[in-house]
Chains A and B, each alone.
Chain A
Amino acid sequence: MNKGNKELNSYAENTWCPGCGNFAILNASKKVFADKDQKNLVMVAGIGCHAKLVDYIDLNHFYSIHGRVPATATGIKLGNPELTVIGFAGDGDAYGEGLAHLMFAAKRNINITMVIHNNGVYGLTTGQFTPTSPEGFKGKSTPWGSVERPFNPLTLMLGAGATFISRSYSNRMENLEMVIDEAMKHKGFSFVEVLQPCYTFYNTYKIYNEKVYDLEGEPPKEHVIEKMTEWNYGSKGNIPIGIFYRETRPTYDESMLREMVPARRKEEIDIEDLLKENT
């Protein structure tokens, strides 16, 4: 265990189902992390199958609670801005339980990366619909077929103010690595959605393999929304992957901290002056 482990594997036993899309995200992440300053890297996870990833990689982690990954990651970054913080969350986690935190992280442009493992189903709780499951999805909580329309996380993130918006697919390893690496390099809030089949509860390999295609470069501004909405998480349209949007904006951590590092704050505060002012 500990530093100097090039493979970055911990001793934790991997318990994902064979064929799970999470393996690809794990492997892509490890590859990208290999070149990073690992002592300053912190992984944050929510609760769900995705989250086991942080147990499997032998680096700093905060295994947080369901829905709260962006808030936890924001706190870590604000505590010590020298840390590189990458959050992993499921679709139920980030889009359901904790959507407000995701929107606000984007709004603030906090310099963190969020990777959303979107398999369109709650795996760990054995198969219910999520905010991005298609209309008519027959899960264990909606055996009659979900009557809700999925929302489109990409346009949602655009509206919230994310400065880096991307989507990838677990079965396109090269694209996945590229997207995670670019997201981590981006200064500001980076959103990476990874489409990922759930082999046990929602196997979408066939559909995704057919419909997923690589964007040709990054779309010009006027075509961003068109590309983002080409597929609205339903049955219609092909599915572009890659980087949809990028812009530069001051980050929340820089604007709020102004060179301060709270984790290293050592200060003797004299309150006598303040008390005099109130006398």
Chain B
Amino acid sequence: MEDISILVGGKAGDGIRIAAIIVARLFSRYGYRVFVYDDYPSLIRGGHNFSLIRVSRQKVQANNVGVDLIVALDKQTIEKHASELNDGGVILFDSSKGEIETEGVGVPFKEIVKEMEGMSIMRNSAALGAIAKVAEIDWKIVEEVFYKFLPKKTDLNLKIARKAYDMASAGNLKVENLNQEMMPIISGNEAIGLGAVKAGMAVYYAYPMTPSTGILHFLAANRDRFNILVVHPENEIAVILMALGSAYSGAKTMVGTAGGGFALMVEGLSLSAQSEIPITIVVGQRAAPSTGVPTYSLQSDLHFVLNAGHGEFPRFLVAPGDAEEAYYYTGVAMNVAWRCQVPSIVLSDKNLSEGNYSFDSSMYTVEEAQPILWDGKGDYLRYKDSENGVSPLAFPGNESATVKVTSYEHDQYGITSEESEKVAFMQQKRLQKTEAVKKEIENIEAVKAYGKDSDTVIFTWGSTKGACVEAADALGLKVLQSVIMEPFPDLSSYIKDAGRIVTVETNATGQLARLLENNGIRVDHKVLKYNARPFFTDELIERLRKEVL
């Protein structure tokens, strides 16, 4: 089969997420493109976790509700998901005594682990062995993947997997050799980290918060390799203030958080604007308000990040929709921040941040842009008047420059001023930088188009584009994805032939639709989902058929 959907379910602590990514890696070795979505509640033990793995010849960035293989490590997986099994699908389950009783391929994972004297979490290795057999994956590939990605107790895990492999029977999901190049599999968070590092990030500050914690973990684990500093301060307020301090000293910095942490950073955002110190902020959206549904996805912070901060000032906002875009546009965000001395925000969501993707590094190149530096002539004025509002940078430690930055309104040297002309002048100087930002990004794709020309155009943003692109392909529709959200791009050439514009997004009020309408674009229909789960391709096709076509 060239397109397979797999669900692996169990309790928290069963190693579901590790198993899921290993499954993806097994198929990836045959040339499949993969997308993994982890659905897990905010707890450490118990509850119900599941991961959806989609493997396909084509690039896929969304899952289906209907699955071809259900792998059950607990009873709840059957209770909750058996109805989602496609015709001809297989249920693979732990048939150990006292575990699960159902129809399908039963393999006693628990008993195998016990027999091999493994730890109980190694049931996931038994499941992996059985999955490999069901999909007729070559045992050599299993060995290769285990040795590479399960470095701890590999031999024991393999012994357990082998036993399950031998006990399971082949299903009708045979893996095929697709003769495509193997691709790395990374998460959206890792892609964000890589983009930042490529764009010259020297320091990353963050306080842990789902779904952005993965960036912190990834960069901390690779601190020495990237030669960066990674700091976990006392709270998000410290995070952004430290980042601004480091940027003032000349170090490129990034911070990462979710909506709640960003709420705490807002005074720092405003400080970045007034002091004109560059900062890049990653905001991973999750279901809110407040603590909300912390480990689940929603796209409900668009207008929050667009409007956050007291006062009026330019900002740059991108909302990438997949791992490649996360990589590239994070680099763009860092570069714009430093070239134009404005805050830049990378707006992600849980589905993208924690999703695992086949990553095609040949799609984009990230290069560090150099900021406009002071030429050393005359007296240094940190806030010197300039044509586009961007004043050349100097950093403390410079023999001939005194570098004064401030949260107060100020004169060109950086000393507080409340005089009416100076206040108006500086407001104007800062706002002028909007044009500088537009110039900086004039050659960067702000809107992406997919599919065939059609009268009805789907307009989407963020990770929802994954399901939209596939659904539109099935229905013969055109999809537009807005990646740069601020400065808002000129869409006239994209929508001039559009008869109807239908927005698709995961929030309750239609935030993209509102943004479009604010920019004079009529939205004919909103397809919304706000139960904190991403759109699934089959589900979206159904909704579009019902509501739009």
Query: Which residues in A have some Cβ–Cβ distance to B below 8 Å?
Result: 1-3, 10-12, 39-42, 44, 47, 52, 54-55, 58-65, 68, 71-80, 82-83, 100-101, 104, 256-257, 260, 262-265, 267, 269, 271-272, 274-279
Contact = CB atoms under 8 A, between A and B. Distances in A.
A55 B415 contact: yes
B202 A262 contact: yes
Contacts of A260: 227, 229
20 contacts: A3-B399, A47-B407, A62-B245, A63-B405, A63-B408, A64-B241, A68-B241, A72-B241, A74-B242, A75-B243, A75-B253, A77-B245, A79-B202, A83-B396, A83-B397, A100-B234, A104-B233, A265-B252, A267-B200, A269-B226
A71 B248 CA distance: 13
Interface of B: 28, 182-186, 190, 194, 197-198, 200, 202-203, 205, 222, 225-229, 231, 233-235, 237-238, 241-253, 267-268, 271, 275, 359, 361, 379-380, 395-408, 413-416
B416 A2 contact: no
B398 A68 contact: no
A220 B396 CA distance: 39
Contact of B184 (A39, A76, A275): A275
A262 B251 contact: yes
Nearest to A279: B184
Given A3-B399, A80-B396, A265 B245 contact: no
Q: Which 6 A-B pairs have the closest CB atoms?
A: A75-B245, A79-B249, A79-B246, A263-B250, A75-B242, A262-B251
A111 to B, nearest CB: 14
Contacts of B185: 278-279
A3 B399 CA distance: 8
Contact of A61 (B228, B243, B251, B405): B405
B241 A80 contact: no
Given A52-B416, A83-B396, A75 B241 contact: yes
B167 to A, nearest CB: 30
B238 A65 contact: no
Contact of B396 (A60, A101, A267): A60
Given A1-B379, A64-B241, A263-B251, 14 more contacts: A52-B416, A60-B404, A62-B275, A72-B242, A74-B245, A78-B246, A79-B245, A104-B238, A257-B229, A263-B249, A265-B200, A265-B227, A265-B228, A269-B227
A275 B361 contact: yes
Contact of A59 (B197, B237, B402): B402
- Chain A CB count within 10 A is highest, among B248, B267, B271, B405, for B248
Contacts of B182: 279
Interface centre among B198, B249, B401, B413 (most CB of A within 10 A): B249
Nearest to A43: B404
A271 B194 contact: yes
Contacts of B400: 2-3
A216 to B, nearest CB: 37
B397 A61 contact: no
A267 to B, nearest CB: 6
A41 B268 CA distance: 23
A78 B242 contact: yes
Contacts of B222: 274
Contacts of B361: 271-272, 275
Contacts of B249: 42, 75-76, 79-80, 83, 262-263
Given A10-B415, A64-B407, A262 B235 contact: no
B541 to A, nearest CB: 32
Contact of A78 (B190, B245, B402, B416): B245
Contacts of B253: 75, 79
A77 B403 CA distance: 15
B236 to A, nearest CB: 11
A68 B241 CA distance: 7
Most buried by A among B186, B190, B238, B241: B241
A256 B413 CA distance: 33
Given A71-B242, A275-B359, A3 B229 contact: no
A79 B279 CA distance: 14
Nearest to B379: A2
Contact of A71 (B226, B241, B359): B241
Contacts of B250: 79-80, 262-264
A275 B186 contact: yes
A73 B396 CA distance: 13
Nearest to B195: A271
Contact of A262 (B241, B246, B275, B416): B246
B416 A73 contact: no
A55 B405 CA distance: 10
Contact of B415 (A12, A39, A71, A264): A12
B194 A274 contact: yes
